[in-house]
Chain A
Amino acid sequence: MIEVKNLVKRYGNHNAVDHLSFTVEDGQIFGFLGPNGAGKSTTMNIMTGYLAATEGDVVIEGHDILDEPEAAKQCIGYLPELPPLYPDMTVLEYLRFVAELKRLPKADRENQIGQAVALTHLEEMSNRLIRNLSKGYRQRVGLAQAILGFPKIIILDEPTVGLDPKQVVEIRDLIRHLAQDHTVLISSHILSEIRAVCDHVLIIRKGRFVACDAPEHLEEELSSNDRVELLVRGSRETVEKVLLSAEGVVNHTFIESTDDTVRLEVSTDGDRRDSLFYAFADARCPLLEIRPKMASLEDVFLDLTDEDDAVAAQAAALLGCGSAPEDAPAADAGQPGAPDEDSAPADAGDAASAAPEKEEENDESNL
């Protein structure tokens, strides 16, 4: 179990991590999601004891990382953003070094190294110099290093960066395999990645807590019931007539129409699916399909981490009830300007650069 309480990391006047709190339960695959520069790596570096926090505590399996660093670090396997490899060693030499560094019992070392090598499919490379390995293989050596000795908690910072699609699938399988008896924490700015493996997602934005829940719950909560898509048998005119008589309809737009069916989107004030159903039934106009517009995790993510504070606050407010998004959204929504006054003009300036960034995220998530 990992408990992170009120974590702050300050660089000068800038808070890289801003009062972040969360708990990772045993056996979870915990995803850490945020755009580039949101503070994911900083948080992970603090959790593993590489950096010290300005404020706040990290407790790993009951050991505070500052008070009992050795006991806490003994429970963690960490793959940083850049795999920490020594290019002048062979893969096996390197893993032997790490095994000794992690104080694995001598008799068990070769066996453990064999397992780590097998899980990361490095058998054929084990006698090669790390210098001569490709990026994908280096990433795997880094991964082998992190899982070596099978510590209770495995922290992986963007583990699939630079891998080809086949390797990505292999690594995901490996993560699922590890999760059977380990707690795995992975960070990514790639959604499909998190969605594919994680059973819990923490979204952070500008170092602040935004949301923390199962990915399906996040989608559910953000998908509003006040927009439904309808497929109706009938003509446009009849549909419009019915909509006029139905209660609570605010707006509607036609998407497409064929000879005898019409597809349209209807905005209502609140959940009006019942009244829509009866209205169309009374008009003897069959409803073929009625579908609430679901927000995908991608929409959730893009909204929650939008560069524009207002959009992000709105998205966070939708989540309001579910996971109690603590101080961050409250501060954003409640008193706009107060804590973020200084960052607002900067955001406006960044608006132009935000758009291409989003496109990039989309591309990657389609991998």
Chain B
Amino acid sequence: MKAIYKREFASYFNSMIGWLFIAVLTVFIGIYFMAYNLFGGKPYFSSALSNTLFIFMVLIPILTMRSMAEERHAKTDQLLLTSPASIPAVILGKYFALLSVFAIPVLISCLCPLIIKLNGTAFLKADYATILAFFLLGAVEIAVGLLISTLTESQIIAAVGTFCILLVLYLWDGLVGYLPTTATGSMVGLFVVLALVCFLLNTLSDNWKVTGVTAMVGTAVITGFYLRDSSKFESLLPNALGKFSLLNAFDSFASDHVFDLSGMLLYLSLIALLLFLTGQVLQKRRWN
């Protein structure tokens, strides 16, 4: 893992991508820091950070697009996968290298609350907690990018695919607002979710028995609960999906200045899930 990490980290600086990513993210953080804190007079650095988030949508796909896609394109994955390194080691090596590149502008931004402190009141705890949330949110998005990059051989498709998914994640709260809040609507929605899960399960495992059992159990559970007490189904789907909102968790750090432990757990578990899926995709490719 260490070898892959070192090579990968160096490769971002051998090419333009690493430098570009760091420069652009630093410049954007700097611009918002200047506008909100230095000239706007706001004491919280977190308000500058939350305005910087949208730039992730563009920068993170560019950072992650080549990580796996290029290996596959140049067939260098043959070296990695036939070496004694295990698949988790390959993925973690790559993921940590990406995180390290991302950590550099985040570390630079750690200076900003101190600059605020030099000029007046600063809320260091709230700001550093927000920087941590900022880093973790970026880490989730990098994991998304890594997964998409593993799915394809083309860097362009990887970048565009990651961009689309990140866009949906940003619009998540708005989109969830459009979901029906009636009990029947939620039930239909749950069936759609179940169908999606079954589809995903089937493509990943190629085992229709598992898929069939999941579909049957899911249908029975949903129908059973609905028949017993349909009033519980009101707003169930929007509420449940709303829990997965990435920005909500970040906002409780940035706007409400509370340490949102459940949001932190959401980020960490999403990272674990995405890395696990990346591993599965790599494994599965060997069988096709």
Would you call B82 and A73 a contact (CB within 8 A)? yes
Contact A50/B83 with A100-B3, A101-B4 known, Cβ cut-off 8 Å: no
Would you call A101 and B82 a contact (CB within 8 A)? no
Would you call B78 and A50 a contact (CB within 8 A)? yes
- List the count of A-B residue pairs having beta carbons below 8 Å apart: 67
Contact A86/B11 with A98-B79, A101-B4 known, Cβ cut-off 8 Å: yes
Could you say which residues of chain A place their CB within 8 Å of the CB of B82?
Answer: 48-50, 73, 76, 78, 80
Contact A101/B83 with A86-B11, A86-B76 known, Cβ cut-off 8 Å: yes
**Minimum CB distance partner of A49 in chain B:** B82
Contact A88/B11 with A50-B78, A52-B286 known, Cβ cut-off 8 Å: yes
Could you say which residues of chain A place their CB within 8 Å of the CB of B3?
Answer: 97, 100-101
Question: 1/0 per residue A178-194: CB within 8 Å of B?
Answer: 00000000000000000
Question: 1/0 per residue A33-71: CB within 8 Å of B?
Answer: 000000000000100111110100000000000000110
> Is B125 part of the contact surface with A, judged by Cβ < 8 Å?
no
Could you say which residues of chain B place their CB within 8 Å of the CB of A115?
Answer: none
The residues in B between 1 and 57 inclusive whose CB is less than 8 angstroms from any CB of A are 2-4, 6-7, 11, 14-15
> Is A160 part of the contact surface with B, judged by Cβ < 8 Å?
no
> Is B120 part of the contact surface with A, judged by Cβ < 8 Å?
no
Would you call A97 and B7 a contact (CB within 8 A)? yes
Whole-angstrom CA separation of A73 from B81 in the bound complex: 9
Residue among B14, B77, B81, B84 having the largest count of chain A Cβ atoms under 10 Å: B84
Would you call B78 and A102 a contact (CB within 8 A)? no
Could you say which residues of chain A place their CB within 8 Å of the CB of B14?
Answer: 88-89
From B77, B84, B286, give the contact of A102 (CB < 8 A): B84
Whole-angstrom CA separation of A102 from B14 in the bound complex: 23
From A80, A87, A103, give the contact of B84 (CB < 8 A): A103
Could you say which residues of chain A place their CB within 8 Å of the CB of B11?
Answer: 86, 88-89
Could you say which residues of chain B place their CB within 8 Å of the CB of A324?
Answer: none
Would you call A84 and B7 a contact (CB within 8 A)? no
Could you say which residues of chain A place their CB within 8 Å of the CB of B79?
Answer: 80, 84, 98, 101, 145
The residues in B between 236 and 288 inclusive whose CB is less than 8 angstroms from any CB of A are 286-288
Could you say which residues of chain A place their CB within 8 Å of the CB of B86?
Answer: 69-70
Could you say which residues of chain B place their CB within 8 Å of the CB of A51?
Answer: 286
Whole-angstrom CA separation of A226 from B286 in the bound complex: 49
Whole-angstrom CA separation of A102 from B76 in the bound complex: 15
A104 to chain B, nearest CB (A): 10
> Is A267 part of the contact surface with B, judged by Cβ < 8 Å?
no
Would you call A80 and B75 a contact (CB within 8 A)? yes
> Is A333 part of the contact surface with B, judged by Cβ < 8 Å?
no
Contact A82/B2 with A50-B286, A88-B15, A102-B84 known, Cβ cut-off 8 Å: no
A110 to chain B, nearest CB (A): 15
> Is A257 part of the contact surface with B, judged by Cβ < 8 Å?
no
Contact A101/B287 with A84-B75, A88-B11 known, Cβ cut-off 8 Å: no
> Is B80 part of the contact surface with A, judged by Cβ < 8 Å?
yes
From A50, A78, A100, give the contact of B2 (CB < 8 A): A100
A145 to chain B, nearest CB (A): 7
Would you call B287 and A52 a contact (CB within 8 A)? yes
Could you say which residues of chain B place their CB within 8 Å of the CB of A98?
Answer: 79, 83
**Chain A at the B interface: mostly helix, strand, loop or mixed?**
loop
Could you say which residues of chain B place their CB within 8 Å of the CB of A97?
Answer: 3, 6-7
Whole-angstrom CA separation of A97 from B9 in the bound complex: 12
Whole-angstrom CA separation of A66 from B14 in the bound complex: 35
> Is A314 part of the contact surface with B, judged by Cβ < 8 Å?
no
Could you say which residues of chain B place their CB within 8 Å of the CB of A54?
Answer: 287
Question: 1/0 per residue B59-100: CB within 8 Å of A?
Answer: 000000000000000111111111111100000000000000
Contact A49/B4 with A88-B14, A88-B15 known, Cβ cut-off 8 Å: no
Whole-angstrom CA separation of A98 from B77 in the bound complex: 13
The residues in A between 71 and 116 inclusive whose CB is less than 8 angstroms from any CB of B are 73-74, 76, 78, 80, 82, 84-89, 97-98, 100-103
Contact A101/B75 with A52-B287, A86-B11 known, Cβ cut-off 8 Å: no
Residue among A50, A52, A88, A101 having the largest count of chain B Cβ atoms under 10 Å: A101
Would you call A49 and B75 a contact (CB within 8 A)? no
From A52, A73, A89, give the contact of B83 (CB < 8 A): A73
Question: 1/0 per residue A143-176: CB within 8 Å of B?
Answer: 0010000000000000000000000000000000
B124 to chain A, nearest CB (A): 40
Question: 1/0 per residue B205-228: CB within 8 Å of A?
Answer: 000000000000000000000000
A149 to chain B, nearest CB (A): 10
**Minimum CB distance partner of B288 in chain A:** A11
Would you call A102 and B83 a contact (CB within 8 A)? yes
B92 to chain A, nearest CB (A): 14
B120 to chain A, nearest CB (A): 46
A42 to chain B, nearest CB (A): 12
Could you say which residues of chain A place their CB within 8 Å of the CB of B286?
Answer: 50-52
Would you call A70 and B84 a contact (CB within 8 A)? yes
Whole-angstrom CA separation of A45 from B78 in the bound complex: 8
B11 to chain A, nearest CB (A): 6
Could you say which residues of chain B place their CB within 8 Å of the CB of A73?
Answer: 82-84
**Minimum CB distance partner of B75 in chain A:** A82
Having A88-B15, A97-B7, A102-B84, one finds 5 other A-B pairs with CB under 8 Å, namely A45-B78, A70-B86, A84-B76, A84-B78, A89-B11
| Chain A positions near chain B (C-beta within 8 angstroms) | 11, 45, 48-52, 54, 69-70, 73-74, 76, 78, 80, 82, 84-89, 97-98, 100-103, 145
Q: Which 6 A-B pairs have the closest CB atoms?
A: A100-B3, A84-B79, A48-B82, A88-B14, A84-B76, A52-B286
28 of the cross-chain contacts (CB-CB < 8 Å) are A48-B82, A50-B78, A50-B286, A52-B287, A70-B84, A73-B83, A73-B84, A74-B84, A76-B82, A78-B82, A84-B74, A84-B75, A84-B76, A84-B77, A84-B79, A85-B74, A85-B76, A86-B11, A87-B74, A88-B11, A88-B14, A89-B11, A97-B3, A100-B3, A100-B6, A101-B80, A101-B84, A145-B79
